[in-house]
Homo-oligomer: A and B are copies of this chain.
Amino acid sequence: MKFGRPRGTRDFLPPEMRIRRSILDKVRQVFEQHGFEEMDTPAMELWEVLSTKGGDDVERQIYKFQDKGERWLGLRFDLTVPLARVVAGTPDLVKPFKRYNISKVWRYEEPQGGRFREFLQADIDIVGSSRMEADMECVSTAVDALKELGLEDFEVKMNDRKLLEGMVESLDIKERFGNSVFRALDKLEKIGEEGTMKDLAEMGLDEVTVEKITGFTRLKGEEALEYASSQFGSSKMTLDGIAELRRLAELSDSFGLSNLRIDFSLVRGLDYYTGPVFEVKAGGVQVGSVAGGGRYDGLIEKFGGPPTPATGISLGIERLYEVLFERVRNEMKPTRIEVFVANVNEGVALDAIRLSQELLRRGVAAEPDLMGRKLGRQLEYANSKRIPYVLVVGPDELKTKKFKLKDMVGNREIVAGLDQVVNIAKGQINE
């Protein structure tokens, strides 16, 4: 009997895992370069923590269970809730607190193309600054990470939740329709303007209101801001949102972001956003964004902390893994091992092991045979693992201290002393 895995989960065998690790290492490196520091929290949280952020949809997706002490726990469904819990409980953190976390989260969703029940998130967040500089720093860091992965032609879409709030406030539809309007706008890109207008009308909005809203979504940039100011300016929220977006545009150049676009239909599902929201698209990556986030100034207070501004962005690691898979694989060496140390027979097997250890001590990734195989089979193994060099050890070689070094890629063979082998394997000299 064979055993399976829970639905929506994956095993990553070494060939896949190397590609994932390569992506994660690059991302991590850029995060750290920008001053984000790693934090880690448990995979499981108390139920009262997970349910604090609210949102029925999310709660339904949580893996929930009782421990043996009958306490209710759940697996974390994102990395923001644990961050908020920690910050709320650690008031003496130096601000701004710039943290990253690249970890697994779990959601019970229907598994489908590119959607899993266990998946990685890569989040950076800045806690303690209400300035737009913090938002831009997050976006700029995310874009630098994407560049490091070889992507280019970025487009950063920006909106501000305050503007959306101000709009429904000034239209006096906040209480009755607020969230449904946001949800309808969220679908704009997917279902088109006509579909959205139909949705808005169907929820009971009059024609003038529907036109005011969709008329706004047609405009871009400064034009959209002026429209918002004239149509929805009766709400202070609108004006605050406009000011934030103007500041973001002003900052973008200094942060090296050229292609910033204000897009009023950008909502982003999660209800806890309170200010700028952003998404990054990359050239050649169809469908959806490769990073997204926003400001959530109210969340840490919900977890019992003092009012604390915060903003963050999440890289779509699973998307990136899918998109970059082939490219990264072609760029990588097929194995870390540089030299396979083969023995011509069992009589010199210990010597081969000893030489392999000697190579390791000298910084060369080396391995000996561990299977008691004949030379031919050893070479087959080295070949199947695509190890670049095979050092052949026999009685004569041990006497003369000159070894056959097979270049498995160039399909050649030279005779070399151990020093030379080390240099060749390290790529410091050519053969």
Seen from chain A, the residues whose Cβ lies within 8 Å of a Cβ on chain B are 1-7, 9-14, 17-18, 20-21, 32-35, 37-46, 48-49, 52, 60, 63-69, 71, 73, 75, 82, 85-86, 88-90, 93-96, 98-99, 104, 106, 108, 118, 126, 128-129, 131, 133-134, 137, 140, 144, 250-251, 253-256, 303-304, 335-337, 349-351, 353-354, 357, 360-361, 365-372, 381, 384-385
Copies of this chain: 2
Chain B residue with the shortest CB-CB distance to A380: B94
- Are B370 and A11 in contact, CB atoms less than 8 angstroms apart? no
Is there an interface contact between A40 and B67, defined as CB atoms closer than 8 Å? no
| Contact (A357, B254) CB under 8 Å given A2-B304, A86-B11 | yes
Give the residue of B64, B96, B337 whose beta carbon is less than 8 angstroms from that of A370. B96
Q: Are B108 and A45 interface neighbours, CB within 8 A?
A: no
Using Cβ atoms and an 8 Å threshold, which residues of chain B touch A86? Answer: 11, 13
Q: Considering the complex of A and B, which 9 residue pairs feature the smallest CB-CB distances, nearest first?
A: A65-B65, A14-B37, A9-B42, A254-B353, A35-B367, A2-B304, A12-B40, A254-B350, A133-B370
CA distance A255 to B354 in the complex (A): 6
- Interfacial chain B residues near A37, Cβ < 8 Å: 14, 17-18, 335-336
Output the nearest chain B residue to A84 by Cβ-Cβ distance: B3
8 contacts between A and B (CB under 8 A): A1-B304, A6-B42, A11-B86, A20-B40, A34-B365, A133-B372, A251-B353, A256-B361
Given known A39-B11, A108-B67, A254-B350, contact A131–B5 (CB-CB < 8 A): no
A46-B3 contact given A20-B40, A255-B357, CB 8 Å threshold: yes
Q: Which of B32, B67, B368 contacts A336 (CB 8 A)?
A: B32
Pick from A39, A60, A354 the residue with the most CB of B within 10 Å.
A39
Contact A354 B254 (CB under 8 A): yes
Residues in chain B near residue A71, CB distance under 8 A = 6-7
- Complex contact B254–A351 (CB within 8 A): yes
Select the residue from A1, A14, A18, A129 with max chain B CB neighbours within 10 A: A14
Instruction: Quote the shortest CB–CB distance from A313 to chain B (angstroms).
Output: 14
Are the C-beta atoms of B44 and A9 separated by less than 8 Å? yes
The residue on B at minimum CB distance from A17 is B38
The verdict on A49 contacting B372 (CB below 8 Å), with A42-B10, A108-B67, A365-B32 known, is: no
A215 to chain B, nearest CB (A): 33
Q: Are A129 and B73 in contact (CB under 8 A)?
A: no
Contact assessment for B255 and A360 in the assembled complex, using a CB-CB cutoff below 8 Å: no
- What residues on B are CB-neighbors of A48 within 8 Å? 3
Contact, CB under 8 Å: A45 / B5: yes
Instruction: Select A46's contact among B6, B94, B133, beta carbons within 8 Å.
Output: B6
Whole-angstrom CA separation of A331 from B98 in the bound complex? 23
User: Other than the known A10-B42, A34-B367, what 10 A-B pairs have Cβ atoms closer than 8 Å?
Assistant: A4-B89, A5-B42, A6-B73, A35-B336, A35-B365, A65-B66, A94-B384, A131-B371, A137-B367, A254-B354
Chain B residues whose CB sits within 8 angstroms of the CB of A254 once the complex forms: 350-351, 353-354, 357
